[in-house]
Amino acid sequence: MNADDFPTPDADVESVTPETLKGRIDDGESVTILDARMSSDYDEWRIDGENVESINVPYFQFLEDDIDDEVFESIPDDRELTVLCAKGGASEYVAGTLADEGYDVDHLEDGMNGWARIYETVEVTDYDGAGTLLQYQRPSSGCLGYLVYDDGEAAVIDPLRAFTDRYLDDAEELGVDLQYALDTHIHADHISGVRDLAGEGVEGVIPAAAVDRGVTYADELTTADDGDEFQVGDATIETVATPGHTTGMTSYLVDDSLLATGDGLFIESVARPDLEEGDEGAPDAARMLYDSLQERVLTLPDDTLVAGAHFSDSAVPADDGTYTAPIGQLVAEMDALTMEKDDFVETVLADMPPRPANYEEIIATNLGQNTVDDEEAFTLELGPNNCAASQESLAGD
């Protein structure tokens, strides 16, 4: 049965918005989620947290006329439950069935699709360059982006296509002109918003080193070489070549205060090196990544903030709520940053997570070789990002 075909339950079931659920989790409230998706989807991607108890009971177990008693025995009846599914149809039906049984229950509006539309902004208070710098956070996939603005001008780094209107609206609300949209590399886990913003009059920027991968639209945008600079008010954004995760991987140093590292370095791990050339090319890419980290990133002052394009469940935010950390702190905490090259390569390659879902089609779309509409683009990028190497093998004690 298609989730959209579920009948409306007899019981009056309230819905909760994804933003409300996220607020409850952020406030430290104990939350119990009944995830009614198939177990394979649940195992790959779900809502987690220290104060979140998640239970998986697939929706089809509630379709029988005589539901097995073991189903109800597996579901706690001494607390409020929030039921979720992929889009909200099955969860409303399941919640109604539970309400008929006396459970205190609501369901998540629009399901995990709604969860994926949460996009929050947090100011990076430790940034001490010109102007103001905001971090965009997408909790469903751990995607991060950045908006720097000063003296009526702004630039966004690693924008997502799904939130094109959001960047434009934010710029208007802040009273600034969005001058630049810059990508750090050809992403493998989400569809880039650079071309869509360029269509709205923003200057789109991609790394020149990424063009040889087969970018079809390079002539329509600005290509950034190592050392190129972009001015946003009094803030300077400098291009820093940091190949490894991809051959075109590029970081952007924002006014000598924060390095937007894309997928090269995260606050809890380093990049995986196998998404461009596969397993065969991964060793060479890992060696390239090591050189970039040692020669281009770790040579910056210790107080330079590292700001990656992703965070994982193991990432601990800074006091300001952003997923940023000074270089000196990362060197002290992450063993991978003090290893010799051979040890680094061996460690990075030893335990990589599964590759991002749909990554080949996402890469083709970001190269301009594949065309998808907005709904298909949104669907392609649902799920975890998996762009980092294993945190367990790379972190310190």
Q: Is residue 4 scored above 60 in pLDDT? A: no
| CA 70, 71, 75, 77 torsion-angle sign | negative
Q: Please provide the average confidence, as pLDDT, over all residues in the chain.
A: 93
pLDDT tens digits, 207-257: 999 999 999 999 999 999 999 999 999 999 999 999 999 999 999 999 999
Retrieve residue 181's tokens: 């949209």
Question: In angstroms, rounded to a whole number, what is the distance separating the alpha carbons of residues 263 and 308?
Answer: 6
- In angstroms, the CA 215 to CA 217 distance is 6
Quick one: which H or E segment has residue 219?
none
pLDDT band of 394, cuts 50, 70, 90: low
For residue 17, how many other CB atoms are within 10 A of its CB? 13
Domains detected in the chain: 3-115 (3.40.250.10), 120-394 (3.60.15.10)
Q: Cβ–Cβ contacts within 10 Å for residue 210, how many?
A: 25
Residue 2 pLDDT > 60, yes or no? no
271 three-state secondary structure: strand
User: What is the C-alpha separation between 166 and 156, in angstroms, rounded?
Assistant: 11
- Predicted pLDDT at 395: 54
Q: What does the pLDDT read at residue 393? A: 47
Q: Is it the case that residue 190 has pLDDT exceeding 50?
A: yes
Query: According to the model, what pLDDT value does residue 233 have?
Result: 98
Q: How confident is the model at residue 397 (pLDDT cuts 50, 70, 90)?
A: very low
Pick the range with the lowest mean pLDDT from 126-130, 281-285, 311-315. Answer: 311-315
- Per-residue pLDDT reduced to its tens digit, 380-392: 999 877 788 865 5
Strands 52-56 and 132-138: unpaired
pLDDT on residue 365: 97
Residue 23 neighbours by CB under 8 Å, 6+ apart? none
**pTM, two decimal places:** 0.93
Q: Which residues are catalytic?
A: 85
pLDDT at 5: 63
Closest alpha carbon to 132 in 33, 257, 34? 257
CA gap 112, 128 in Å, rounded? 37
More confident residue, 113 or 89: 113
Residue 123 in this model has a pLDDT that exceeds 90: yes
Instruction: State the pLDDT at residue 85.
Output: 95
Query: What's the mean pLDDT in 281-291?
Result: 96
- Residue 81 pLDDT exceeds 80: yes
| The pLDDT of residue 388 | 83
**pLDDT band of 8, cuts 50, 70, 90:** low
- At how many degrees (to 10) do helices 341-350 and 278-292 cross? 140
Task: Look at residue 36 and tell me whether its pLDDT is greater than 90.
Answer: yes
Q: Label residue 176 by pLDDT band (50, 70, 90).
A: very high
Q: Give the model's pLDDT for residue 342.
A: 97
